[in-house]
Chains A and B, each alone.
Chain A
Amino acid sequence: MRALATTLRAELVGEGGVVERNINLTKRYIWWDLAWFVWTVANTLTIVFIAEGIEATGGQLDVNEVMTSLLIGAVIWAYLGVLFEFLMETVAWERWEGTIEYTFMAPLSRAMHLAGQGLFAIMYGLLRAVFLFTVCALFFRLSMPDANFLAAFVVLTVASVSFLGIGAMTSVLPLISPEKGTQLGFVAQGTLLVVSGVYYPVDVLPGWMQFLAMFSPATYALEGAREAILEGAPMSAMWDEIWPLLILGVISIPLGLWIFQRGELYAKKHGKLKRSG
């Protein structure tokens, strides 16, 4: 028991080291990150403006509600982008920097290594999502009198566990294909959001896509966030979204780790674990 506790403590210290390294790297380029944030804001504005565009061309809709709904979709898209990017960088960026062999030689379990990357990505992504939402909501002067932001935040945090599992699955792609693996990771992110109703209700999708939507954690994150912010749903009402997210998390985390380990095995057998660039 004591040995287990010692090992666990040691693993957590190692995980903390990975988080700390990411904090240091982000701090080092914080001004460039802010510049990148401006791009994200601009991108989000172009999506939210669509609602005003529809009204201006004669469409009948509750502009404030549609804008808020689009904003939620755009923020979650941006959040997933950050999450997947960090996890993808577990391999791609280290390969570019030339540190990958050392990282994979370090006495840190792969689970803790990925958890360290993921934990930082969640913290940084959530912070960025809150900023993005606030800036855009202020820009459009959106009215959200009943919004339950805490409930929306909780749903997104719970969904992040499943996102991590899926992120671990996609982060293996640069490991098995140093040349094109990273791009394929973005395909996974896009596909996930398309079936999850990122800017529209899932009901408008073809039947087979609606079926796939049931297995996407983004579906429940988007539904929960919209219910909480647009309808002011209380925390207790979030359970409908939280339990599927918990089930998906329980499945996706071990599955993601297993897939990553298979990818690592493949890379070590075929000599793919080396620097590129």
Chain B
Amino acid sequence: MTEPAVRVEDLAKVFEVPEREAGLRAATRGLVRRKTREVRAVDGISFQIAPGEIVGFLGPNGAGKTTTLKMLSGLLYVTDGEARVLGHVPSKRERDFLRRISLVMGNRNQLQWDLPALDSFELNRSIYRIPREDFLAMRDELIELLEVGDLVRKPVRQLSLGERMKVEIVGALLHRPQVLFLDEPTIGLDVTMQKRIREFVAEYRRRHGATVMLTSHYMADVEALCERVIVIHHGRILFDGDLAGLANTVAAWKTIAVVVGNGAGDLSAYGDVIHRDGDLVTLRVAKGETARVTARLLAEQDVLDLNVEDPPIEDVIELVFAREAVE
């Protein structure tokens, strides 16, 4: 049986956060008696990721995504439970482990702002002990894939956000990591750049068989790249499975957008009317009923246009969180 690339069991991270009321009295009291409270950023999560798999790690801000990724890359010690990446305990900082992983954070940088990216690439070559030939081949491959040939000679501070992200990715992948943790890699980027980076991640994974764990607030990233998603909220896993399965579990319905020629009358007999705009009516119907309702509409109404769609993934995720809040 193949050893999972990432194995997490009952993983927890608890932070002690100082807390005080406003005002001078509370501030003075805080000098002698500091009040703290425990925040369970990650609360006993378990999952496994197979080698070569790409998994979307979803959740709202503060859900525990970045904390988990930091524990998996050895930047944070775990409070409880166990994490293993490529068979290593991340916090031990074993060289063989560190040389085989990479964490890319959309709102951080590893390249020195004052230097051209090429200089920082050289530093990475020394630190990751990449043989010069391999380094040059990989560097040029990445530069070509991301089309950053004319950017890597400029000081990083002169690059736009999207350009910087692309050269950051080059820097993070020079040592050809087997496991790639991507934390919001497309944050703040325009749609074209987001698409470019998505395509690149898919291509890198295809070429090098890398395991990828991706967090993103852009559902387009997740839909384009991930077959499996893990949804986390308040430090706990709410769902772990394939993307289609998530929609089936949480939102077992489809939408039918229909334009009726003879003026849309009352279509509520066909399903829940969730939107109406002139002749265009959007109905929500149970997945199992979709074919029957569509056939009825076509037979009984003067249908000019009809479109059947799965619920948007954003709505599905929102439903997952809403369901957790109710429970």
Contacts and interface: CB of A to CB of B under 8 A. Distances in A.
Contacts of B114: 25, 28-29
Contacts of A271: 15, 67, 76
A107 B115 contact: no
A17 B126 CA distance: 5
Interface in A28-72: 28-29
Majority SS at the chain A contact face: helix
B187 to A, nearest CB: 14
Given A98-B109, A101-B103, A28 B77 contact: no
B108 A13 contact: no
Interface residues of B, number: 35
Contacts of A270: 15-16
A99 interface: yes
Interface string B93-129: 1010011000101001111111100011011111111
B127 A17 contact: yes
B128 A106 contact: yes
Contacts of B111: 99
A102 B108 CA distance: 9
Contacts of B16: 270
Given A17-B122, A20-B126, A108-B127, A99 B109 contact: yes
A231 interface: no
A20 B123 contact: yes
B91 to A, nearest CB: 7
B110 A268 contact: no
A180 interface: no
Nearest to B101: A105
B178 interface: no
B75 A101 contact: yes
B76 A268 contact: yes
A269 B77 contact: yes
B61 to A, nearest CB: 15
A21 interface: yes
B126 A99 contact: no
B186 interface: no
A268 B73 CA distance: 11
A180 to B, nearest CB: 14
Contact of A268 (B77, B109, B112): B77
B129 A14 contact: yes
B173 to A, nearest CB: 13
Contacts of A10: 129
A275 B70 CA distance: 13
A98 B120 CA distance: 14
A25 B115 CA distance: 7
A106 B127 contact: yes
A18 B15 contact: no
A16 interface: yes
Contacts of B59: none
B185 interface: no
Contact of A101 (B105, B119, B155): B105
Interface string A1-23: 00000000010011011101100
Interface of B: 15-16, 67, 70, 73-77, 91, 93, 95, 98-99, 103, 105, 108-115, 119-120, 122-129, 155
Given A21-B123, A28-B115, A105-B74, 14 more contacts: A13-B129, A17-B122, A20-B122, A24-B112, A25-B112, A25-B114, A25-B115, A97-B113, A98-B108, A99-B111, A101-B75, A102-B108, A102-B110, A265-B77
Interface of A: 10, 13-14, 16-18, 20-21, 24-25, 28-29, 97-99, 101-108, 265, 268-271, 273, 275
Q: Which 9 A-B pairs have the closest CB atoms?
A: A17-B126, A102-B110, A107-B98, A107-B95, A17-B123, A269-B77, A106-B127, A14-B127, A268-B77
